[in-house]
Amino acid sequence: MDDVRRPVAVFDSGMGGVSVLRELVRLMPEEDYLYYGDSANAPYGTRSVDDVRALTLRRIGALHARGIKAAVIACNTATSAAVDLLRRTFSDIPIIGMEPAVKPAVLAHPHGRVLVLATPLTLREEKFNALLKQYASLAEIVKIPCPELVEFVERGDLGSMAVYDYLEQRLGAYRGKADAAVLGCTHFPFLRRAIAQVLGNETELFDGGAGTARETARQLSARGTRAEAGHVGTVLIENSREDSQEIALTRRLLQSDL
Ligand code: DGL
């Protein structure tokens, strides 16, 4: 297949990566996308690193065999566990990973208090702790593991009382007391409204979706594999649960107004 016509794979443990897919489609509507959510094995964030590495390697291997031209690991957890291994294993295509948007949050709020909401695995991995070390002297950075938020999004629950109760319990103490909050898991932008409401208007929210889309565009351009302008791209959605409800919810998230 012609290089420019091969699809860009977008992978997540479930539906969270759709928050990145939305940005990719907005920036490069001419590309064809193949979105794969591993909902049957979600959440990844409470699994062991070895488990997440094996699941990610197997899935990207299967997508690679289908002729993708790039893989976006639209999951902070899978990136922390497996991105280096993926780059070594599939060195013929760009592998674009994610990291919590600590840098833009700290630079926008020097000496402020920056909360980082992510999965337990992301927050304990070496990648995140190296990032933390880099910015720790510039702001007070507070790690807040929120694994249950992933499961709310997987169920399509973006704002029930249970969501607000959970957020109140994790974040209520910071209401009006944080300058920024980093949504360090791709599921969390779907709960942006609820998170903003619990933290209050003074807290600026950051996520890595748009930056990841720009980085993907840069990498495709550098390899000369961007689709021709004017081509109308497609989005194919697949999920390890092989359940039509899963696909319908993924489409609904793709079209939702964040
Ligand atoms: N969406 C993933 C992330 O960005 C994690 C979700 C999970 O725990 O499965 O970290």
Q: What sign does the dihedral 24-26-28-32 (CA atoms) show?
A: positive
Query: Could you give phi then psi for residue 191, rounded to 5 degrees?
Result: -110, 15
Percent of the chain's residues with pLDDT above 90: 94
Tens digits of residue pLDDT in 168-224: 999 999 999 999 999 999 999 999 999 999 999 999 999 999 999 999 999 999 999
Q: Is the peptide bond before 43 cis (omega within 30 degrees of 0)?
A: yes
The closest residue, in CA terms, to atom 2 on ligand 1 is 75
- Output the CA angle 123-127-131, nearest 5 degrees: 85
Q: Report pLDDT for 177.
A: 98
Catalytic residues: 75, 185
pLDDT band for 244, please (50, 70, 90 cuts).
Answer: confident
Which atom from ligand 1 is nearest to the alpha carbon of 12?
1
Q: What sign does the dihedral 73-26-216-223 (CA atoms) show?
A: positive
Which atom from ligand 1 is nearest to the alpha carbon of 185?
4
Which atom from ligand 1 is nearest to the alpha carbon of 43?
9
Question: Which residues does residue 8 pair with via DSSP β-bridges, in sequence order?
Answer: 33, 70
Task: Please give the radius of gyration of the chain, using alpha carbons only, rounded to the nearest integer.
Answer: 18
Question: How many angstroms separate the alpha carbon of residue 154 from the centre of ligand 1?
Answer: 10
State which of 19, 49, 59, 75 you would mutate to test the pocket of ligand 1, scoring each by most atoms of that ligand within 8 A of its C-beta.
75
Is the separation of the CB atoms in 99 and 119 below 8 Å? no
Question: How many angstroms separate the alpha carbon of residue 46 from the centre of ligand 1?
Answer: 9
Tens digits of residue pLDDT in 16-66: 999 999 999 999 999 999 999 999 999 999 999 999 999 999 999 999 999
Q: Report pLDDT for 256.
A: 84
State which of 10, 11, 13 you would mutate to test the pocket of ligand 1, scoring each by most atoms of that ligand within 8 A of its C-beta.
13
Which atom from ligand 1 is nearest to the alpha carbon of 44?
9
Tens digits of residue pLDDT in 96-153: 999 999 999 999 999 999 999 999 999 999 999 999 999 999 999 999 999 999 999 9
Question: How many angstroms separate the alpha carbon of residue 253 from the centre of ligand 1?
Answer: 16
Question: How many angstroms separate the alpha carbon of residue 43 from the centre of ligand 1?
Answer: 6
Question: How many angstroms separate the alpha carbon of residue 186 from the centre of ligand 1?
Answer: 6
Ligand 1, pocket residues at CB < 6 Å: 12-14, 16, 42-45, 75-77, 119, 122, 150, 185-187
CA distances from 195 to 174, 198, 201, 238, 244 (A): 11, 5, 10, 28, 29
The closest residue, in CA terms, to atom 9 on ligand 1 is 43
